[in-house]
Amino acid sequence: MALRIVANRPDPSLLQLPWAVPLEDWTEHVVPLPRGLSRHVVRIVRLGDNTYAVKETVEEMAFREYRLLRDLQRLGLPSVTPQGVVTGRVDENGEELPAALLTEHLQFSLPYRSLFAHGLTAANLPELIDAMVVLLVRLHLADFYWGDVSLSNVLFRRDAGGFAAYLVDAETGELKPTLSDNLREYDVTVAVENVFAELLDLQASESLDHEVQAHAIVDLLTERYHALWDELTRPEEFSSGELWRIERRVERLNDLGFDVDELDIVTDWNGDRVRIQPKVVELGHHSRELQALTGLDVEDAQARRMLNDIASFTAHFDLGREDRSLVATRWMQQVYEPIMAMVPPEARGKLEPAEIFHEMLVHRWYLSENAGHAVNIFDSARHYIENYLLAKPEEKVAAEESD
């Protein structure tokens, strides 16, 4: 049987991997990056500048998940990027080996267990649940049925003190022409059951405080899912004299980080009553705004923090009458880029640049609060780097915690 590699962006170095060896026996090219729990054998490998996750599975399932992940990428949904599928594997005795699905490693991402090993506490659980809820709602808005919602099937990236969640396992997922309410609710039920069990498991391993009430956390998951879904999709009716409520609804969605790409507006026969319903919404309002101004591609909460700093910069230098894109360019040149240049090479894998900038702003606020006056932004950045950033664990290529 001939080895076959199907890839959307072929990497010739994939041929260097020991495909004739069962994945659980791989040692060459394997790196100890943290990975979540999986029903399958998974290894993280590095080939030159590229890092991949390799998962053994049934050939049919490998191709199905590969194509589904490609569809999610085309829809702009947060998921790992599929690299390819390897079939036709045989060992040295001619025995068939499972097919392998390859996905690109998501830099600066961690599974939930590693987050707790890196200092996450019970106080951070609401932010983790919020990230998972936003991911699930975004998938449901795109008519994606997940089927196996769990913390284990998600990777988390830091986002201005909170988190952004990415789907990492689409094996049970399916894109529907229209996703029914029953399937949405089933996904929420599965999420509640799996997260509850995962929290108990964290407590059993002493990674989570035993005082944490798992029931309260999963109740929070359900509550926040329905609150966000309703805010994004529910119809709203008002009189024709209250048309300002259309703009108010859009502003509320923008505050949540969502853009309204399509709004269904219906009036009654005499125009006295107006009914509106968002039809197409997409997360990334602040990210798209920042990218248009600066070219920076960051998570949405990070972008919002940077936009606020650009607004402060504008006010401080009385640049309100200047073109906003020119002000943003000046902010990049005079604030953001000089601060990033202060980060020593050995600290650049600790956090993403946008997260470093966010933490530096928070640090500056605390220093100014204690000093009773505004502390120079570069002095506070220097103090943050020397006293906090250098002591943080590596997250770009973070090694697993030893047992």
Which pLDDT belongs to residue 107? 86
Residue 288 pLDDT greater than 80, yes or no: yes
Phi then psi for residue 362, to 5 deg, are -60, -45
Are residues 196 and 128 part of one domain? yes
Are residues 96 and 79 part of one domain? yes
- Looking at per-residue confidence, does 55 or 394 come out higher? 55
Domain count, the chain: 4
pTM (two decimals)? 0.84
Give one DSSP letter per residue of 57-87, joined into a string.
Answer: E-HHHHHHHHHHHHHHHHTT-SBPPEEEEEE
**DSSP H/E element including 378:** helix 377-387
Residue 56 inside a domain? The answer is yes
Are residues 246 and 227 part of one domain? no
How far apart are alpha carbons 167 and 71 in whole angstroms?
A: 13
Place 37 in a pLDDT band, splitting at 50, 70 and 90. Answer: low
**Tokens found for residue 59:** 């050939």
Q: Which amino acid does the sequence have at 86?
A: V
Which pLDDT belongs to residue 400? 38
Which pLDDT belongs to residue 28? 87
Q: Any idea what DSSP says for residue 394?
A: P
Residue 376 inside a domain? The answer is yes
Instruction: Supply the range of the domain harboring residue 32.
Output: 4-104
Which pLDDT belongs to residue 209? 86
**Tokens found for residue 156:** 């988390």
Nearest Cα to Cα of residue 221 among 255, 173, 188: 188
The domain boundary, picked from 248, 283, 318, lies at: 283
pLDDT cut 90: percent of the chain above it: 65
Residue 398 inside a domain? The answer is no
Backbone CA torsion sign across 373, 365, 209, 137: positive
Q: Is 23 helix (H, G, I), strand (E, B) or coil?
A: helix
Place 122 in a pLDDT band, splitting at 50, 70 and 90. Answer: confident
Are residues 328 and 246 part of one domain? no
Give one DSSP letter per residue of 263-282, joined into a string.
Answer: EEEEE-TTSSEEEEEEEEEE
The domain boundary, picked from 249, 283, 317, lies at: 283
Are residues 90 and 116 part of one domain? no
Are residues 24 and 82 part of one domain? yes
Place 110 in a pLDDT band, splitting at 50, 70 and 90. Answer: confident
Which pLDDT belongs to residue 225? 95
Q: Is 358 helix (H, G, I), strand (E, B) or coil?
A: helix
Q: Is 119 left (phi over 0), alpha (psi -120 to 50) or beta?
A: left
Residue 95 inside a domain? The answer is yes
| CATH assignment of the domain containing 144 | 1.10.510.10
Contact 166, 305 (CB under 8 A): no
State CA 24 to chain mean position distance: 28
Q: What is the mean pLDDT of the chain?
A: 90
The domain boundary, picked from 104, 128, 153, lies at: 104
Q: What angle do CA 33, 203, 221 make, to 5 degrees?
A: 85
Q: Which amino acid does the sequence have at 292?
A: A
State CA 26 to chain mean position distance: 29
State CA 289 to chain mean position distance: 18
Are residues 99 and 35 part of one domain? yes
- Looking at per-residue confidence, does 119 or 84 come out higher? 84
Are residues 225 and 117 part of one domain? yes
Q: Any idea what DSSP says for residue 333?
A: I
Q: Looking at residues 132-143, what average pLDDT do you find? A: 95
Which pLDDT belongs to residue 341? 96
pLDDT tens string 41-50: 899 999 988 8
Where do runs of H (alpha helix) occur along 40-156? 59-74, 112-117, 125-141
Q: Looking at residues 258-270, what average pLDDT do you find? A: 83
Are residues 41 and 149 part of one domain? no
pLDDT tens string 289-341: 999 999 999 999 999 999 999 999 999 999 999 999 999 999 999 999 999 99
Which residues, listed in sequence order, are joined to residue 264 by a DSSP beta bridge?
277
Residue 292 inside a domain? The answer is no
- Looking at per-residue confidence, does 244 or 99 come out higher? 99
pLDDT tens string 359-372: 999 999 999 999 99
Q: Is 330 left (phi over 0), alpha (psi -120 to 50) or beta?
A: alpha
Residue 399 inside a domain? The answer is no
Residue 290 inside a domain? The answer is no
Are residues 363 and 269 part of one domain? no
C-alpha separations of 403 from 38, 209, 210, 350, 362 in Å: 18, 19, 20, 22, 33
Residue 344 pLDDT greater than 60, yes or no: yes
pLDDT tens string 205-255: 888 888 889 999 999 999 999 999 999 999 989 888 888 888 888 898 888
Are residues 229 and 131 part of one domain? yes
How far apart are alpha carbons 283 and 258 in whole angstroms?
A: 4
pLDDT tens string 175-207: 999 999 999 999 999 999 999 999 999 999 888
pLDDT tens string 48-82: 888 999 999 999 999 999 999 999 999 999 999 99
Are residues 206 and 153 part of one domain? yes
Which pLDDT belongs to residue 399? 40
pLDDT tens string 148-174: 999 999 999 999 888 999 999 999 999
- Looking at per-residue confidence, does 122 or 232 come out higher? 232
In this structure, how many other beta carbons lie within 10 angstroms of the beta carbon of residue 403?
A: 3
Which pLDDT belongs to residue 127? 92
Q: Looking at residues 378-392, what average pLDDT do you find? A: 95
Residue 401 inside a domain? The answer is no
Q: Looking at residues 90-104, what average pLDDT do you find? A: 93
